[in-house]
């Protein structure tokens, strides 16, 4: 399973990544909304874990933008 993790806090991201990798899941990490949109729309993911407080845009805006094209669970 491929997961896109969108998290701007490095310590939170590291903890989440460790847990997911230990569960034998493949994780791609980005820290901005714009990078999340780009990755989500150009690569295949089974799940997107999305932080709502991102440095460049609100996570809800990321969700709305991705939802216009994809049905990937967020």
Evaluate whether 61 touches 53 at the Cβ level (below 8 Å): no
- At residue 41, the 3 state secondary structure works out as helix
Predicted pLDDT of residue 12? 98
Q: Give the separation between CA 47 and CA 65, rounded to whole angstroms.
A: 15
Instruction: Provide the pLDDT confidence category of residue 34 given band limits of 50, 70 and 90.
Output: very high
Cα dihedral 38, 7, 54, 71, rounded to 10, equals 50
Predicted TM-score (pTM) of the model is: 0.96
pLDDT tens digits for range 2-25: 999 999 999 999 999 999 999 999
Q: Which residues contact 63 (CB under 8 A, 6 or more apart)?
A: 50, 74
């Amino acid at each position: 399973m491929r997961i896109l993790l969108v998290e701007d806090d490095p310590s939170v991201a590291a903890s989440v990544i460790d847990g997911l990798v230990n569960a034998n899941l493949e994780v791609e990490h980005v820290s901005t909304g714009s990078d999340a949109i780009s990755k989500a729309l150009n690569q295949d993911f089974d799940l997107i874990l999305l932080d709502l407080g991102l440095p460049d845009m609100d996570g809800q805006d990321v969700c709305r933008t991705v939802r216009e094209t994809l049905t990937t669970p967020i």
